[in-house]
Each structure stands twice: as structure tokens, then as C-alpha cells.
């Protein structure tokens, strides 16, 4: 017996409408390829360049709850804001974020990262100074590298002291593309 895609869709929509889901996720088709987005009742918790990052959903369940379900509705707002961003019609995201489960240092670095404006860049050392720990550039680099909500938390805007792009989870080419989109580089 096979569950039709229509029945499947109706169940997922009902679960979402009745607010019985702890983590809603879906794969979003975007300008830069498929992105996996996961949303809890606290906000966007996870955005991945790897559309098959299912095992990462298990780790969200440890703090958000085991009712993890793929639904279109739950990630609708993320889909819309990303569309606008890639279309050049959005420079600030209005999404609330779920940073539960992250260490305090990571949260404060990400807090400073969020303040780096659209179309601008900052260095790893800038961020380290802004969290009051000028020698922590390397640790800041690690936080950028593990950033679980890229694009929205704009780690692509963080570059080396010499202005070199250094690295990016989605690949240097993508980092360059995002900075170009924002007009930060020509």
C-alpha cells in the first residue's frame, strides 16, 4: 500500500497548522542551489548548503524536540526572505533565530557578526576585538566555519586582514558571489 503524495502533503500541512511540529524543515530551491532550512518555534535554527544534511536534524532534536517533520509551510518565511535577498530586494533579514545549544562565546561572536551590514566586510580580528578578546581571531574563524545559519548570519562578510576571502563552508566561489551580489566587491 502506497501513501499518495496528496495524502502525504495533507498530513504534513495538518501537522503544521495544528502546531504539533517541533522542527519544520524543507529543501529550498534558490539561486545558489538547494538549501536545507530547519525552523523551530524559536526561529530559524539551521541552514545548510548540503541538502542531505539529515543527520544534522537529529542534533536539533536534542534541544528542540523529536517531532521533526518536513513541511512546506513551516519554512515559508525563510523561503520568501531568501528569494528577496537573492533578487537584490532585501538587505536585512527579519527572521528570528534559534541559537540554543551553542556555547556562550559562539553566541556573542554571532551576535557581533549579525551587526556587520549588507555590502560591507569585517576581518576576523575586528570581530575578536568587538567581543572583547582581540587575540581570539582563530577562535572566531572556527565559529565562522561552524556557523549553522550562513547567509542570514553573514559569515561571508568576514575576510582576512589583507582582504583575502580566506574560506567558506559553501566554497570560496560562493563567498565571492554573495559579496558581489551585495556590492561589497566589484
Q: Which of 37, 44, 57, 178 binds another protein (CB under 8 A)?
A: 57
Phi-psi region of 38 (alpha: psi -120 to 50; beta: other; left: phi over 0): beta
Q: Does 3 bind another protein (CB under 8 A)?
A: yes
Strand pairing of 158-159 and 122-123? Answer: parallel
Q: How far apart are CA 74 and CA 19, in angstroms?
A: 10
CA-based nearest residue to 166, from 175, 154, 177: 175
Stretch that binds another protein, among 1-9, 29-37, 136-144, 153-161 (CB under 8 A): 1-9
Query: Minimal distance in Å, beta carbon 166 to another protein?
Result: 35
**5 HSE (CA, 13 A, CB side):** 0
* Active-site annotation holds for 155: yes
Query: Minimal distance in Å, beta carbon 32 to another protein?
Result: 25
Tell me the catalytic residues. Answer: 155
Q: Where on the chain is the footprint of another protein (CB under 8 A)?
A: 1-3, 7-8, 10-11, 14-15, 18, 20-23, 57-58, 61, 65-70
Amino acid at each position: 500500500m502506497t501513501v499518495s503524495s496528496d495524502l502525504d502533503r495533507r498530513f504534513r500541512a495538518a501537522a503544521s497548522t495544528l502546531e504539533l511540529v517541533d522542527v519544520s524543515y524543507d529543501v529550498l530551491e534558490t539561486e545558489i542551489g538547494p538549501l536545507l532550512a530547519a525552523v523551530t518555534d524559536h526561529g530559524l535554527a539551521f541552514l545548510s548548503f548540503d541538502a542531505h544534511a539529515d543527520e544534522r536534524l537529529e542534533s536539533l532534536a536534542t534541544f528542540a524536540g523529536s517531532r521533526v517533520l518536513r513541511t512546506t509551510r513551516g519554512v515559508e518565511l525563510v523561503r520568501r526572505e531568501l528569494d528577496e535577498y537573492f533578487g537584490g530586494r532585501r538587505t536585512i533579514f527579519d527572521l528570528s533565530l534559534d541559537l540554543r545549544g551553542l556555547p556562550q562565546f559562539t553566541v556573542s561572536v554571532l551576535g557581533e557578526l549579525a551587526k556587520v551590514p549588507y555590502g560591507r566586510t569585517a576581518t576576523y580580528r575586528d570581530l575578536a576585538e568587538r567581543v572583547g578578546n582581540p587575540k581570539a581571531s582563530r577562535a572566531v574563524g572556527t565559529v565562522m566555519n561552524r556557523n549553522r545559519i550562513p547567509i542570514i548570519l553573514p559569515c561571508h562578510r568576514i575576510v582576512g586582514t589583507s582582504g583575502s576571502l580566506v574560506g567558506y563552508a559553501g566554497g570560496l566561489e560562493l563567498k565571492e558571489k554573495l559579496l558581489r551580489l551585495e556590492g561589497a566587491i566589484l
